[in-house]
């Protein structure tokens, strides 16, 4: 078994309905998906189960889907599974990073409290156009914080910045994001 099998070969295994598809997925992306789940959930076991569920779900959708970027595809499945599980937990079972992140995200929310159903397509377009407008490093820091749910300390270490510098970047970017959403007419 090649632990670093190319993505197109892994996808081919799914199409062939070969059981090696899951083993190869686990070997190449298991740690990556686990880290995403563990950042959201405090429990090692729940994070592991999310990863296992990821392969089951992937098995169910490939084919007909043929992901272009397998890491992001698996990561998104794991992320959504972990968020589903997190929402059913009481606060004490949530990951240590998640609570401050939720606090930070509250800054982006609209203060007027009006109820509005936000269309997913509108939201997708708004988020992606905003991210595309950011400098590369800022975009990576922003996504590592709110997509990968990483701690400020880990991000600072990765980018060779101080934690305070990372916090300032995140704060400014959140503020810009809020403005961008308002301009797009997206209220949460």
Partner 1 sequence: MKEEKMLRAFSLVDDDLVEKAAPREQKPKIPFWWKRLAYVAVAACLMLAVVLPIAFMGGDNDSVPVISKLDDTTQNADETAPMVSAGDTLPLPADTQFVTTQSAVDTAKPAPDVTKQPIDVGVGPLDAYKDSEYFSLIEMLDALLSESEIDLPPSQPTAPDIAPSGVTNDFSGSLTGADSIQRSDTHIFCLKDEKLEAYTVSGHDFVCVGAFDVGDMSEFSLLDGGKKVLLLRSSSIWTKLLLLDVSDPACMKELRRVRITGRLCSSKLTDAGLVLATNYTVWEAPEYDNPTSFVPYMQYDGGEANHLPMEDIILPTDKLLGLDYAVIYSLDPDTLTLQSRKAILGSGAAKITENYVFIHSWHSTTLANTLRRYTDLYCFDYQDGVLTYRGDLTLEGRVSSLDEKDGILRVVADVAYRNSYEHYSGVSFYCVSLQSVRVVAELKEFTENGQTVQSVYFDGDTVYIGTQHATSSPTSIYLVDFSNHANILCVTPDEPIARSISLAAFGDGAVLGIGYGNRDFVGGPYPHTIGIFKREGDKAVSVAKYRVENAAEATGHLPSSLDREYYLDPERQLVGFAVRTKNEDNSVKTEYILLHFDGKTLSEFACVEIGGDPCAVHTLLLDGKLHVFGDKEHRVISV
| Subset of residues 2 to 21 that bind partner 1, contact rule: CB under 8 A | 19
Local structure of residue 133 (DSSP, 8 states)? T
Instruction: Write down how long the chain is.
Output: 188
- The C-alpha angle with vertex 89 and arms to 85 and 93, in degrees rounded to 5, equals 105
Q: Does 185 contact partner 1 by CB under 8 A?
A: no
**Cβ-based neighbours of 47, under 8 Å, separated by 6 or more:** 34, 37, 38, 40, 41, 82
Q: What's the start-to-end Cα distance of the chain, in Å?
A: 47
Tokens of 68: 């272009």
Q: Which of residues 71-90 bind partner 1 (CB under 8 A)?
A: 71-73, 75-76, 79-80, 83, 86-88, 90
Stretch that binds partner 1, among 8-16, 64-72, 165-173 (CB under 8 A): 64-72
Q: How far is the CB of 38 from partner 1 (least distance, A)?
A: 9
Find the shortest distance in angstroms from Cβ 168 to partner 1.
19
Footprint of partner 1 on 108-127 (CB under 8 A): 108-109, 113, 115-118, 120, 123-124, 127
Q: Who contacts 63 (Cβ-Cβ below 8 Å, separation ≥6)?
A: 14, 15
Q: SS3 of 131, please?
A: helix
Q: List CB contacts of 118: < 8 A, sequence separation 6 or more.
A: 186, 187, 188
| Contacts (Cβ under 8 Å, ≥6 apart) of 187 | 110, 112, 114, 116, 118, 181
* Distance in Å, CB of 11 to partner 1, minimum: 14
Options 11, 33, 146, 152; binder of partner 1; rule CB under 8 A? 146
Residue 117 DSSP label: P
Q: Which stretch binds partner 1 (CB under 8 A): 8-16, 104-112, 161-169?
A: 104-112
Of 12, 20, 27, 139, the one binding partner 1 (CB under 8 A) is 139
Residues of this chain that bind partner 1 (CB under 8 A): 19, 22, 31-32, 42-46, 48-49, 52-53, 55-56, 59-60, 67-69, 71-73, 75-76, 79-80, 83, 86-88, 90, 96, 101-103, 105-106, 108-109, 113, 115-118, 120, 123-124, 127-128, 131-132, 139-140, 143-144, 146-148, 150, 154-155, 157-158, 188
């Amino acid at each position: 078994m090649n632990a670093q099998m190319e993505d197109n070969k892994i996808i081919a295994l799914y199409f062939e309905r070969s059981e090696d598809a899951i083993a190869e997925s686990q070997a190449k992306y298991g740690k990556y998906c686990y880290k995403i789940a563990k950042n959201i959930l405090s429990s090692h076991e729940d994070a592991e189960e999310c990863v296992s569920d990821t392969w089951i779900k992937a098995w169910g959708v490939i084919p007909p889907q043929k992901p272009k970027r397998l890491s992001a595809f698996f990561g998104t499945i794991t992320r959504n599974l972990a968020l589903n599980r997190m929402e059913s937990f009481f606060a004490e079972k949530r990951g240590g990073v998640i609570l401050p992140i939720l606090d930070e995200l509250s800054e982006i929310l609209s203060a007027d409290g009006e109820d509005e159903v936000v269309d997913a397509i509108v939201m997708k377009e708004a988020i992606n156009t905003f991210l595309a407008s950011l400098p590369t490093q800022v975009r990576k820091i922003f996504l590592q914080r709110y997509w990968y749910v990483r701690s400020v300390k880990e991000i600072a270490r990765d980018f060779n910045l101080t934690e305070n510098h990372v916090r300032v970047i995140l704060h400014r970017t959140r503020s810009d994001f809020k403005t961008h959403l308002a301009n797009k007419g997206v209220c949460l």
